[in-house]
Amino acid sequence: MLGVHITDRVKEAVAVQRLLTQFGEQIKTRLGLHEVGSATSPNGLLLLEMVGPDAGIQELSDKLNAIDGVEVQSMVFFHLAD
């Protein structure tokens, strides 16, 4: 899971969306959270459930982190098989 905090959604939306499209085959689930109201919320949070090779996930994370105003944190859950 990747948590992507975007501090200026209007400014950074195109660059973020371009990367999400590029890595779309590795994104199983995408959930966007932001304030709702009469005006566009300036910041937001994306939760991405990732699949596939760790190298590709790390590459997406690195490229998103390289965008000013974007911060990525990862969450890793390990499940034991019965």
**CATH number of the domain bearing residue 63:** 3.30.70.1150
Give the model's pLDDT for residue 40.
74
Predicted local distance difference test score (pLDDT) of residue 80: 54
What is the pLDDT at residue 38? 62
Number of domains in the chain: 1
pLDDT single digits (tens) 1-44: 999 999 988 899 999 999 999 999 999 999 999 887 767 788 99
Could you report how far apart the first and last alpha carbons of the chain are, in Å?
23
Query: CA 36 to CA 25: how far, in whole Å?
Result: 29
Condensed to tens digits (0 to 9), the pLDDT of residues 48-80 reads 999 999 999 999 999 999 999 999 999 988 775
Cβ–Cβ under 8 Å, residues 23 and 56:
yes
Q: What is the pLDDT of residue 57?
A: 96
Any domain includes 80? no
- Domain limits for position 20: 2-74
Q: In the structure encoding, which two tokens stand for residue 64, read together?
A: 């998103």
Query: Does residue 26 form part of some domain?
Result: yes
